[in-house]
Amino acid sequence: MNYDFLIVGQGITGSIIALQLKKKSKKFKLIEDGNPNTSSKVAAGIVHPISLKRCNLSWRGREFYEFSDAFYKEINIESNIELYKPYTLLRIFASFDEQNNWIGKTNNKIYKNILKLNNKELDNLKNKFGSGIVEFCSRLSVNKFLDFVSSSFLKSNELKKDLFKADEIKLKNNRFHYKGDIYSKIVMCDGVNALKNPMFNYLPIIPNKGELIKVSSNILPPYIINCGIFSLPETKNIFTIGSTYSNEDQKNNITIDAKEYLMKKLNKIIEIDRIEITDQKFGFRPTSSDRKPLIGEHPIIKNLFTVNGMGSKAILMAPLLVTELLNYIYQKKPLDSMVNINRFTKKIKDENIDYAKSLEF
């Protein structure tokens, strides 16, 4: 069978590529290995354009948010499911300096319609320095979104549950041959698994472990709060609390340290003796050494692409960055130099060159 694309990985980015290719009437096969601990499957799905630690607009933040907001709203219509909806996000200030910084930003036109000060009392919360509101905030129910994509493409035989094996790819007449099928292009959306793949393992991908806990509470508010960690309402009295960030811990398990860290942070704003932990999960985010996404075409193997390195911001960034990649492929529009993987071409290894040579038959 002949296809336009092979997409490897049905996380956020792989799913979005598949949806956009569908709109372009392109023929593709999507491969997913079913790993439950990918960053996409564990992600809370909170979307906003602010770096809350420093109260700054993220790189291209407004542009990413407005594009993604329209994209996910359209998915709501197509799926006939409320996968994406707006939320109130409250930032609990840790000091008067943070409060003053926030107030200053509200008077800056860059933050117009994004930030404002909260003047209402917050029941049950400790917030002696006050709080601010992020008005550009929504939540994507990530696993429901992935299930929608999976069920849609399984029905049409465009999705296959399988473990991708780079050593089984062959290249003939500028076409990729893999397990009996022929593809014009390949897009790798394999997250931290790229480190084990000779296609793109020269890229400086850093696995960043994140852990979340689920809690039962009748005192947490029914909106998102952030105090260095976040509390996200799921159903009545059930909340997700997260997240930790660790580049050092690479073990495939949950940890007591992460649970204690999250509860200690939560205790700063609410009485945790009235909260019961019901579950804990972990996943590995693919981050990069310069904290920018990794997008583009392989420097040696033509028509082989990657979309990676978005860390915890894939839900925010992926819709627009995937569009830009497809515009690069089909319209020759240049990629943003900040994300283009050609910035790391000098890091390519001998094994990557040997792999590229081995593809020809």
CA-CA distances (angstroms) from residue 197 to 29, 104, 166, 203, 262?
19, 47, 7, 11, 34
User: pLDDT tens-digit profile of 116-150?
Assistant: 999 888 888 998 999 999 999 999 999 999 999 99
Nearest to 225 by CA among 57, 93, 328: 93
Containing 177, the helix (H) or strand (E) segment is: strand 175-178
Q: What is the pLDDT of residue 324?
A: 98
The amino acid sitting at 113 is N
Contact 15, 319 (CB under 8 A): no
Q: What is the mean pLDDT of residues 180-196?
A: 96
- The structure tokens listed for 22 are 């569908």
Q: What is the pLDDT of residue 273?
A: 86
Mean pLDDT of the chain: 94
Contact 22, 16 (CB under 8 A): no
User: pLDDT tens-digit profile of 8-19?
Assistant: 999 999 999 999
Q: What is the pLDDT of residue 158?
A: 87
Burial (Cβ within 10 Å: 0-12, 13-18, ≥19) of residue 241: buried
Q: Sorting pLDDT into bands at 50, 70 and 90, what band is 270?
A: very high
Q: Give the rounded percent of residues in the chain with a pLDDT score beyond 90.
A: 88
Contact 224, 52 (CB under 8 A): no
Q: What is the pLDDT of residue 298?
A: 98
What count of Cα atoms within 13 Å lies in the side-chain half-sphere of residue 129? 18
Q: What is the pLDDT of residue 40?
A: 84
CA-CA distances (angstroms) from residue 11 to 202, 204, 310, 331?
22, 20, 12, 26
Asked whether residue 44 carries a pLDDT value surpassing 80, the answer given is yes
Q: What is the mean pLDDT of residues 204-216?
A: 96
Eight-class DSSP state of 336:
P
Asked whether residue 22 carries a pLDDT value surpassing 80, the answer given is yes
Q: What is the pLDDT of residue 217?
A: 94
Q: What is the pLDDT of residue 310?
A: 97
Q: What is the pLDDT of residue 262?
A: 96
Distance of CA 115 to the CA centre of its chain: 23
- The structure tokens listed for 28 are 């593709």
The amino acid sitting at 231 is S
**Domains of the chain, each with CATH number or no CATH:** 2-42+143-204+290-358 (3.50.50.60), 46-140 (no CATH), 206-288 (3.30.9.10)
Q: What is the mean pLDDT of residues 345-354?
A: 95
3 state DSSP class of 217: strand
Alpha-carbon gap, residue 20 to 68, rounded angstroms: 13
User: pLDDT tens-digit profile of 164-173?
Assistant: 999 999 999 9
Contact residues for 233 (Cβ-Cβ < 8 A; gap 6+): 220, 221, 222, 223, 224, 239
User: pLDDT tens-digit profile of 297-307?
Assistant: 999 999 999 99
User: pLDDT tens-digit profile of 82-111?
Assistant: 999 999 999 999 999 999 999 999 999 999
- The structure tokens listed for 327 are 């515009």
3 state DSSP class of 267: helix
Q: What is the pLDDT of residue 100?
A: 94
Asked whether residue 264 carries a pLDDT value surpassing 80, the answer given is yes
Q: Sorting pLDDT into bands at 50, 70 and 90, what band is 53?
A: confident
Strand 56-57 relative to strand 50-51: parallel, antiparallel, unpaired? antiparallel
